[in-house]
Amino acid sequence: MIQIPVLALLWTAGPLFAQTAALQVVDSHGKVIGRYLSPVPSCPENDTCKAGAVVSAGQFIAVLGVANPGFVTQANYNPTFLHLTSGCSGPRYLRVLGPGRMYGDGAALLPPPSSISGGKLFIPFSPPLQLPFQSIETPTSDDYTQAGSCGPTTDTLGYILAIVDPTTVATPPFHIQ
C-alpha cells in the first residue's frame, strides 16, 4: 500500500513549476502554499473553487481549492471512495470519474481540487493509481468524514486521498504574491 507523508509533503512542496514570474498562494504566516492556479480546470462553472494552489511531491500533484478567507468547498463535490478491502475499511481512495486536466507548460495532470467536509480537508493526489479495489463507498450525508453505504466494485483507478485537519496545512487568510 502506498502511503504519503502528507503533512510533511504539503509543508515542503513549494511551487510545482520553477518559474520566477509565477504567482504564488501564501498563507497568513508568509508560507508559500503553492503556485497560483485560476481558474481551476476541473471546477464547475458556478462553483466556489475558482482559484487553487498547485503543490507537488515527487510524482504526486494536488490542487488545494483556496479563496482569501481559507480553503473552499466545492458545491458539486459528490465523491465516491474506493477501498482495497471488501468491506470499505482501511484507507480511502477517490474514485476517478473522468480524465484529469492538463495544466501549464509542463503539462501536469491535475486531480480534482481539494474540498472541506466535516471539518477535514480532502486532498486527492494525481496521477491516479491502478489498484485492485474491492469495494466502493458512497457518502450518505454531506459529512464525508462519516462512513457511507458500501458495495462491491470492479473499479481499478483511484486517486490517493489525504484527509487532514486543514490547520495543519496552512493558516488563512490567503493571498497572492
Per residue in 65-78, pLDDT (tens digit) is 888 888 887 766 77
pLDDT value of position 80? 92
Q: Which spans in 49-123 are helix H?
A: none
Instruction: Using the predicted structure, report yes or no on whether residue 111 has a pLDDT greater than 50.
Output: yes
d(CA 156, CA 134): 9
User: 44 vs 85, which has greater pLDDT?
Assistant: 85
Domain map (residue ranges) of the chain: 6-176
